[in-house]
Amino acid sequence: MLRAKRVAINAMASRAVALRAASTSTQNPDEISKFSKLARLWWDEDSAAFGALHRMNQVRVPIVVEAAIAAEAARGDVPTARSGRTIRPLARTSVLDVGSGGGILAEALARVGAIVTGLDASAENVAAASAHSVIDPDIAERVFYEKLLVEDLAAQLAGAVEGSVAEEPLSGAAARAPAGGFDVVVSSEVIEHVNSPAMFVAALAACLRPGGVLVMTTITRTALSYAGAIFAAEQLAGLVPPGTHDFAKFLRPDELSGLMVDAGLVPALPEPIAYNPITGRWSRGGGRVVMQYALSGTKPLQ
């Protein structure tokens, strides 16, 4: 029984390699359709589809804040005035949230001061996120969403730098991007749903300013993650809809770290994050990565 399970897992891992090699775009129509159908549930904090993601902000926001502040300090870019930075530690920080969905993480980052641009491949998700963001006037002017692939934004930004963009001025996310790129790029629980993870990470890195930081969270590829994220969460407990995850698309920390290196980033050590389905709470740390983790990578100044 155990041997058969290992053979099945190895087969799925081999399929993952084939998928990555064959992809020429990060867009996966099946995944986009899957989440588009759930768009009305993004802000239902009790829903099986997204309730855990809302609670995940308990760890995601501090992880992003700490990475952003560390990158800011490393490049010596400390604001002269820090009034309000305790309550809003990301004040004046530009953040690109790729795969922003309904805006769960984007809004949370805006509430701690960030100026957030959210990208998503689903028009339904962008509509849901935009509609919800205007409810709170405190963040409405600091959050912007657009239906756009990150590689397309990266190409627009590269063209602007090289002077090869058409005569028409930049618009949307490209126009909102600071000169040189974003301070922080975030992609949380997304890479396991895209085609060509290598292209995806390279595009994320291309949107960063020198000295900026990329922060990602995802599910690792182990027998335990299969048992927890697919068998238990989808099939047994119904915490997320069946078919939400594909084990073949999960990346181990060393694999994601390698993609960051290939994209020209300097990765940090992965940080394990864990969800307790009994208490409904997330926690950071705890030693070895067994299911989910956060990983950041910094773009060199030169």
Residues belonging to the binding site for S-adenosyl-L-methionine are 60, 99, 120, 188
Confirm if 102 and 129 have CB atoms less than 8 A apart: yes
Sign of CA dihedral 123, 129, 131, 134: negative
Q: Which residues are annotated as a binding site?
A: 60, 99, 120, 188-189, 192-193
Confirm if 56 and 282 have CB atoms less than 8 A apart: yes
The residue type found at 38 is L
Taking alpha carbons only, the member of 241, 302, 240 closest to residue 52 is: 240
Over the Cα atoms of the chain, what is R_g? 19
Other beta carbons within 10 Å of 57 = 18
What does DSSP say about strands 271-276 and 281-284: parallel, antiparallel, or unpaired?
antiparallel
CA dist., res. 229 & res. 252, Å (int): 14
CA dist., res. 56 & res. 274, Å (int): 9
Percent composition of the chain: helix, strand, coil (DSSP 3-state, to 5):
45, 20, 35
Assigned token pair, 122: 């689903």
Query: In the chain, where does DSSP find H-type helix?
Result: 2-22, 29-36, 51-74, 104-111, 123-133, 137-140, 150-162, 172-176, 197-206, 223-225, 253-262
Assigned token pair, 166: 């058409």
CA dist., res. 46 & res. 42, Å (int): 10
Q: Which residues are annotated as a binding site for Mg(2+)?
A: 189, 192-193
Contacts of 252 (CB under 8 A, 6+ apart): 220, 221, 222
